[in-house]
């Protein structure tokens, strides 16, 4: 599957500001960057650094009066569809180092608060079958509602309110998975069927010795998802982090099947 991706960010700045941008699709074993271009407009500084777990890149920018970023790429996805139900969870004492940190509670995913609920609701299912049931549980009970949450909303807040956007759905699934002792992390990505189209967020769980994408909103299929970056939760995968006041002027994302 080949995707054509475009993203545009425009912000006004109150003063010269440093910004960390994470919008470029990552080059991985399962996705190839056929072509890409990043136009950062007028900047006084630009450099790239590796993202979390060395998946993807972040771009440091220093801007004076405005921040304007335009990203375009063509990405070839070679991620096969996997039957989640057939995957097994590994005993925690056998987990590799790259998975262990994603068992722990984090800023937006207080998984320790969900242990009693998971024990009561999902005690009869294990591994991938449990993750599939958790994702279905979220999708059938939560309302996708843009504007219902904010940048400080945690998985516990969303669990109570039963509404939110992709990041909120993913935070809840990650929290439930970790409470079940299954490593789970947050993934920023592009996908063609996201509605309304925007930067998207899904979960990724460690099963049968590898990471597998799961979208509780059911808008992104793993074989049609272009990964940008990964992290513990939304704090690690933000498409834009500014170290100064920035006001949104325009933001658009386009993702199409090639």
Across residues 43-64, what is the average pLDDT? 96
For 122-149, write each residue's pLDDT tens digit.
999 999 999 999 999 999 999 999 999 9
- Give me the DSSP letters along 100-159: HGGGS-BTTB-GGGGHHHHHHHSTT--HHHHHHHHHHHHHHH-EE-TTS--TT--HHHHH
Percentage of residues of the chain with pLDDT beyond 70: 100
Closest by alpha carbon to 78, among 135, 34, 129? 34
Structure confidence at residue 75 as a pLDDT band (50, 70, 90): very high
Question: What pairing do the DSSP bridges indicate for beta strands 200-207 and 184-190?
Answer: antiparallel
Residues with Cβ within 8 Å of 179's Cβ and at least 6 positions away in sequence, in order, are 111, 112, 114, 115, 117, 118
Structure confidence at residue 85 as a pLDDT band (50, 70, 90): very high
Cβ–Cβ < 8 Å for 204, 214: yes
pLDDT, position 112: 97
pLDDT, position 82: 93
Mean pLDDT taken over the chain: 97
Cβ–Cβ < 8 Å for 193, 131: no
Across residues 52-75, what is the average pLDDT? 97
Across residues 178-206, what is the average pLDDT? 97
Sheet holding 17-21, edge to edge: 45-50, 57-63, 17-21, 240-242
pLDDT, position 52: 96
pLDDT, position 125: 97
pLDDT, position 157: 98
Across residues 92-118, what is the average pLDDT? 97
For 10-36, write each residue's pLDDT tens digit.
999 999 999 999 999 999 999 999 999
Structure confidence at residue 238 as a pLDDT band (50, 70, 90): very high
């Amino acid at each position: 599957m080949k995707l054509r991706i475009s993203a545009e960010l425009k912000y006004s700045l109150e003063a010269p500001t440093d910004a960390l941008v994470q919008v470029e699709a990552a080059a991985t074993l399962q996705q190839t960057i056929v072509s890409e271009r990043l136009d950062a407009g007028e900047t006084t500084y630009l450099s790239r650094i590796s993202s979390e777990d060395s998946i993807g890149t972040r771009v440091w920018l220093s801007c004076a009066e405005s921040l304007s970023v335009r990203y375009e790429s063509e990405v070839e996805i070679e991620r096969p569809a996997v039957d989640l139900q057939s995957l097994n969870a590994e005993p925690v004492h056998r987990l590799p180092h790259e998975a262990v940190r994603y068992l722990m509670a984090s800023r937006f995913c207080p998984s320790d608060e969900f242990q009693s609920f998971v024990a009561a609701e999902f005690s009869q299912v294990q591994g991938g079958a449990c993750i599939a049931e958790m994702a279905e549980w979220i999708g059938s009970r939560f309302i996708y509602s843009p504007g219902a949450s904010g940048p400080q909303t945690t998985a516990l807040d969303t669990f109570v309110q039963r509404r939110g956007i992709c990041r909120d759905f993913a935070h809840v699934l990650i929290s439930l998975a970790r409470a079940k002792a299954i490593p789970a992390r947050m993934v920023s990505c592009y996908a063609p069927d996201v509605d309304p189209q925007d930067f998207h967020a899904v979960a990724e769980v460690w099963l049968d010795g590898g990471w597998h994408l799961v979208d509780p909103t059911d808008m992104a299929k793993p074989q049609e998802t272009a990964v940008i970056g990964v992290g513990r939760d939304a704090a690690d995968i933000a498409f834009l982090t500014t170290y100064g006041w920035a006001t949104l002027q325009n933001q658009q994302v386009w993702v199409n099947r090639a």
